[in-house]
């Protein structure tokens, strides 16, 4: 390897295109060689980017030693489809190499009969760890923790710690420190590797450990865990029970996975998509899932149609109204979505509370009024150029203003109300919002037209 | 502090509500005390959740020793508004404590005159580091690197390394290893702290260092940097120039910041919102920004209206068409957005390439056909119940099917074309898509009606 190649990570990265070409050429030996040098995280990415047939081909080429970690990196749906094709013994072999939190996550999503047959075959120690993990609710710190913790007692010297570390060939990933416990196993603080390296070796652990390094309660919500890691720049943190007994640790890579999942959820939830969805899932599965969302949308579309239906007489007389009415609804939908997105994001970041809610609502409504008036004038003018009817122009101006104000108010109010009702605003906020802006838009435009123009 | 409190991070966290209450009560001493115990990352979150006046009050209560790091955590807009109120000396004092990458990022966004007066006052060393950083393009690894690297030569023993480390009181954050260089400063590999701790101290660095631990080329795109960190589970990585000369290092916290920014961009870009936008920006600033997006949308809305306008004769004769036409457009928009979101996400994760593009397109169009036919039947039936006109029912069924297929095809094609034209699909994809589904929806429905029903 030349120095240039070493310096450029891309150079050694097995690309998706390469995989497709090698599969096409049936050059399996070369592909196997390259796969062996590829990180499991990237193997998972490659597998997820494969249509089903090729995915199975590729999976068969991945060596057994890489299987466990690769499975841990895959999204639910892709993982389950691969596991279903594996022998139970293979799955167990993989399971025993996984971090217990990845295993807990995987096993929960498996069909009951596969799950049972795996659990039976696990070693007692792993099964016990697994049961501890599963005893905590999904989405809590207890579920995120792994058991690869190196602990030291608080009453030994750094020299003893150094000798103890030398017994290890290598330390587990993301080990930035050792967890300090007392005689009974209660968490006392963290002894950073930095400290071990830089301080005098005759000092006692309790004299140099970081006792400010807080542990995380196992029942803490995983979203709070991410905030905690980000605020304190942690690489790993201890997990304890309510009595401060050390249970395990959470590593930064698990936190990054949650951050990714939260971002995917925010992005995909609003389209009724599942963030765990396999891009290459069978057509029938994807159709079923998406059809539900289309059905929900159809109800709101018929609601809007029903509003229009109340004004058929008006539309019959002034056909220009039918031409212009989608503009009113559309402008409201766009303005409302902006406010909605900001509000949902603010809520997710814990930035909105009773102390600033009204300030924000007032600000958004002010923006709605200003933008409403501005675009009302523009749209009224364009409508007049088109239809040369001052009445229609005045009515559409009024309707645009009303709808943009309603949009701003709903963009704030809908997520706040949903949050209070414990409904995830990222999932249903957008549908409800566009229903409001459609109904208000059509009703104000056609209603005002009926009143003033007929 | 009792053990229970130590175990629960939430207990010590200063909440937004508390801040509002203490500001209200003017209990500044208590607030200052609590702020001093709060992490700069959290201080930044609190500041961002404050309306302008309270934000300035709170900023004045934050101690000078926390200012630098807090500034580094803030989003552009909030940070600039605070800096404008600060004395130049204060800004310089803060700048000198910042990581050089944070400083480079901050200084680039400042108005020219403030920027110059800060640069002049910086120490020569910092200014030199800053210039190196700024010599790389925005969005590259060179911009992300900081200078807090501890290097060791490859021809010394671990004992020498240990002695060298003891000279440090503490190691910089995210130091999981030391960068190994040769005599000339060329990067050779990474010496993990784990290795220093666990291996025999008479071994040479070159014998135990990890030479597989790749460095990142300074011109690498920051998105590739995040993939690289995630794949290899890095905590820090060396940055080198094209000759393999060590320039600095990138830390995992910078990578997490990019991940957050990418997620925000994906979420907010589609609404025409800037991810750096201050939730509490003045009304006028926010109005201006959002008005541009409404203007773009207005063009597409008028395009849709113009399509409807071609069929005024038809609408005049059959008013039921005006009632039903939003349903056709809306269903297309929803189905298309689903495909679009999946495609944009797949592109962002490098999961879509020439090898699977056609497979994916075929899959999405198949889903479009299946869902199109399913909902065509449902909508045809509901329309018949409403208007009892078989002709209208048949026409709407055909239009729904056509529009859902067009939506699926556009949902794949639009982001692929935009990507090839080097336009960010996260920004403009949704607007273009709904223009297509509106136009196709209205045109197929009203066009078929004109042909068959008149």
- Taking the Cβ of residue A266 and every Cβ of chain B, the question of whether any pair is shorter than 8 Å is answered with yes
Tens of pLDDT, residues A147-185 = 889 999 999 999 999 999 988 888 888 999 999 999 999
Let me know: does A445 contact A399? Beta carbons within 8 Å. yes
CB count within 10 Å of CB A366 equals 17
The nearest CA of chain B is from the CA of A54 a distance in Å of 10
* Residue B7 confidence (pLDDT) above 80: no
CB contact under 8 A, B367 and A283: yes
Domain co-membership, B131 together with B166: no
Residue A348 belongs to some domain of the structure: yes
Cβ–Cβ pairs < 8 A, chains A and B = 381
Pick the closest to residue B327 from A303, A240, A313, A43 (CA basis): A303
Scanning every residue of chain B, which has its alpha carbon at the shortest distance from the alpha carbon of A178?
Answer: B194
Residue A179 belongs to some domain of the structure: yes
How many domains are contained in chain B?
3
Question: Rg of chain A over CA atoms, in angstroms?
Answer: 29
Paired tokens of B437: 């589904």
Q: Burial of B125 by CB count in 10 Å (0-12 exposed, 13-18 middle, 19+ buried)?
A: exposed
CA distance linking residue B393 with residue B375, whole number of Å:
12
Q: Provide the residue range defining the domain that includes A331.
A: 283-453
CA distance linking residue B243 with residue A441, whole number of Å:
62
**Rounded average pLDDT over A274-299:** 89
Q: What pLDDT band is residue A12 in, cutting at 50, 70 and 90?
A: low
Let me know: does B147 contact A147? Beta carbons within 8 Å. no
Pick the closest to residue B294 from A375, A325, A408, A383 (CA basis): A375
pLDDT of amino acid B12: 53
Query: Any idea what DSSP says for residue B178?
Result: E
Paired tokens of A414: 């809908």
Give me the residue from A39, A194, A335 closest to B294, CB to CB.
Answer: A335
Query: Residue A65's domain is classified under what CATH number?
Result: 1.25.60.10
Residues 226-245 of chain B whose Cβ lies under 8 A from any Cβ of chain A: 228, 230-233, 235, 240, 242-244
Pick the closest to residue B49 from B85, B25, B23, B29 (CA basis): B23
CA distance linking residue A107 with residue A109, whole number of Å:
5
Tens of pLDDT, residues B122-167 = 889 888 999 999 999 989 999 999 988 999 999 999 999 999 998 8
Query: Residue A225's domain is classified under what CATH number?
Result: 3.10.580.10
Domain co-membership, B443 together with B363: yes
Domain co-membership, B306 together with B449: yes
- Taking the Cβ of residue B174 and every Cβ of chain A, the question of whether any pair is shorter than 8 Å is answered with yes
Q: What pLDDT band is residue A8 in, cutting at 50, 70 and 90?
A: very low
CA distance linking residue A255 with residue A68, whole number of Å:
20
Let me know: does B4 contact A242? Beta carbons within 8 Å. yes
Domain co-membership, B124 together with B162: no
Domain co-membership, A303 together with A405: yes
Domain co-membership, A315 together with A399: yes
* Residue B355 confidence (pLDDT) above 70: yes
Q: Burial of A310 by CB count in 10 Å (0-12 exposed, 13-18 middle, 19+ buried)?
A: middle
- Least confident range of A342-351, A405-414, B26-35, B238-247: A342-351
Domain co-membership, B383 together with B420: yes
CB contact under 8 A, B170 and A298: no
Listed residues A101, A135, A169: the one ending a domain: A135
Mark residue B445 as left, alpha or beta (left: phi above 0; alpha: psi -120 to 50; beta: remaining): alpha
Let me know: does B47 contact B70? Beta carbons within 8 Å. yes
**SS3 label, residue A221:** strand
Complex ipTM: 0.88
Residues facing residue B248 across a β-bridge: B239
Let me know: does B99 contact B146? Beta carbons within 8 Å. yes
Evaluate the CA torsion angle B135, B138, B139, B145 in order and state its sign. Answer: positive
Listed residues A251, A273, A298: the one ending a domain: A251
pLDDT of amino acid A5: 37
Domain co-membership, A77 together with A114: yes
């Amino acid at each position: 390897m030349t120095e240039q190649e070493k310096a450029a990570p891309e150079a050694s990265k097995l690309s998706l295109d390469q995989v497709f070409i090698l599969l096409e050429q049936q050059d399996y030996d070369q592909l196997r060689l390259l796969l062996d040098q590829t990180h499991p995280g990237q193997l998972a990415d490659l597998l997820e980017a494969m249509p089903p047939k090729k995915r199975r081909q590729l999976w068969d080429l991945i060596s057994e030693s890489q299987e466990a970690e690769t499975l841990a990196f895959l999204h639910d749906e892709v993982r389950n489809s691969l596991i279903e094709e594996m022998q139970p013994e293979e799955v167990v072999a993989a399971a025993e190499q996984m971090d217990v939190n990845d295993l807990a996550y995987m096993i929960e999503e498996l069909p009951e009969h596969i799950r049972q047959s795996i659990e039976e075959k696990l070693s007692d120690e792993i099964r016990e760890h697994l049961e501890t993990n599963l005893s905590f609710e999904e989405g809590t710190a207890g579920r995120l923790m792994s058991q690869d913790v190196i602990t030291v007692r608080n009453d030994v010297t750094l020299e003893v710690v150094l000798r103890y570390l030398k017994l290890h060939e290598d330390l587990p990933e993301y080990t930035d420190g050792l967890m300090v416990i007392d005689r009974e196993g209660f968490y006392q603080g963290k002894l950073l590797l930095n400290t071990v390296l830089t301080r005098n070796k005759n000092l006692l652990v309790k004299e140099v450990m970081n006792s400010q390094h807080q542990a995380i309660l196992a029942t803490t919500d995983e979203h709070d865990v991410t905030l905690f890691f980000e605020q304190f720049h942690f690489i790993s943190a201890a997990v304890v029970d309510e009595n401060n007994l050390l249970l395990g640790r959470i590593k930064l890579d698990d936190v990054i996975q949650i951050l990714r999942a939260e971002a995917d959820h925010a992005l995909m939830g609003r389209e009724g998509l599942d963030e765990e969805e396999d891009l290459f899932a069978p057509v029938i599965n994807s159709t079923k899932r998406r059809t539900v969302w289309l059905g929900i949308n159809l109800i709101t579309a018929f609601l809007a149609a029903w509003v229009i239906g109340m004004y058929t007489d008006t539309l019959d007389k002034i056909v220009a109204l039918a031409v212009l009415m989608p503009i009113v609804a559309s402008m409201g939908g766009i303005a409302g979505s902006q406010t909605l997105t900001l509000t949902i994001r603010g809520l997710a970041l814990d930035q909105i509370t009773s102390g600033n809610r009204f300030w924000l609502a007032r600000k958004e409504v002010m923006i709605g009024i200003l933008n409403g008036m501005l675009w009302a004038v523009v749209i009224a003018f364009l409508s007049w150029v088109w239809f040369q009817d001052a009445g229609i122009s005045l009515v559409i101006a009024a309707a645009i203003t009303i709808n943009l104000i309603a949009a701003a108010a709903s963009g704030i109010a809908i997520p706040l109300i949903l949050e209070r009702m414990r409904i995830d605003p990222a999932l249903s906020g957008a549908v409800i919002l566009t229903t409001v802006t459609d109904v208000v838009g059509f009703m104000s435009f056609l209603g005002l037209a009926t009143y003033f123009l007929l």
